[in-house]
Each structure stands twice: as structure tokens, then as C-alpha cells.
Amino acid sequence: MSRPSLKWCLPALALVILAVISSASRAGEPQVIEISARRFEFVPSRITVRRGETVTLRLRSQDVAHGFYMKPLGIDATIEPGKSIDVTLTPKVPGSYTVICDHFCGAGHGNMHMEIIVE
Ligand code: CUA
């Protein structure tokens, strides 16, 4: 049985080291979920996050100012057009949470909402 040559071992070792380094650097940073707001919806309309895991919601408006409000999750933000706003949360209690737009944005304002599922 021949031993694998050094020529093949080194690139494989380098890949393993790179994988370890990149997963270590990702571990400390919250996952970022991009959410787009526009009359009269949020896209995506539903996201799932894990209990106890910190996530950053990166909110952007495509048209006018919208609200982003869900009291039990501690979320109360205004999404101004042309700006991006980050909301970071670490949900503690599993469940389904409805985030509403609480900033009047037009005729369909009352139907503008999305779900955050915490599992
Ligand atoms: Cu969007 Cu009210």
C-alpha cells in the first residue's frame, strides 16, 4: 500500500485549515437576514429563527417609510426610504410572532405584516 504523496496531502490540509478558520470567524457574528419593505408587504413574508440564537434583521424600504413593530420581541423600528436599518434580536420564547407596519403608509397599511417563527 502506498502512502498518499505529500503533493496531495498539502492542498487537502490547507483546505481543512481554511474551513476551520472561516467557521470560527462566522461563529461570533449574528446571521443577517435581509428584509425588504414596500407597499404593502414585507419580503420575505415569513422567516424562521432559532430560540437563543442572535440574528440581525437588515431592513430596507423600497418606497415610503414603514414601521416594523413586534413588542414581545422588543422590535420597534421605522424603516426610512433610502436607508438601511439593522435590528438585532435573540428570541427566547418559541412561537409565531406577527410583525406589523405601525407607520401609516397608504391604503393597504392595515394589511402589512410578516411572521417571525421562533423554533
Ligand atoms: Cu407599511 Cu404601514
Give the structural domain span for 72: 30-118
Look at residues 105, 96, 31, 95 and name the one whose alpha carbon lies nearest to residue 68. 105
Is this structure's pTM higher than 0.95?
no
In a domain, 47, yes or no: yes
Task: Summarize pLDDT for 59-89 with one digit per residue, the tens.
Answer: 999 999 999 999 999 999 999 998 999 999 9
Whether 104 is in the pocket of ligand 1, judged by its Cβ within 6 Å, is: yes
In a domain, 75, yes or no: yes
Whether 101 is in the pocket of ligand 1, judged by its Cβ within 6 Å, is: yes
- What CATH number corresponds to the domain at position 108? 2.60.40.420
Write out the three cell numbers for 38: 414596500
Say how many CA atoms lie within 13 Å of 80 toward its Cβ. Answer: 3
Task: Summarize pLDDT for 27-44 with one digit per residue, the tens.
Answer: 678 899 999 999 999 999
In a domain, 103, yes or no: yes
Whether 112 is in the pocket of ligand 1, judged by its Cβ within 6 Å, is: yes
Integer Cα distance of 79 and 85 in angstroms:
7
DSSP string, 43-79: ESSEEEE-TT--EEEEEEESSS-EEEEEGGGTEEEEE
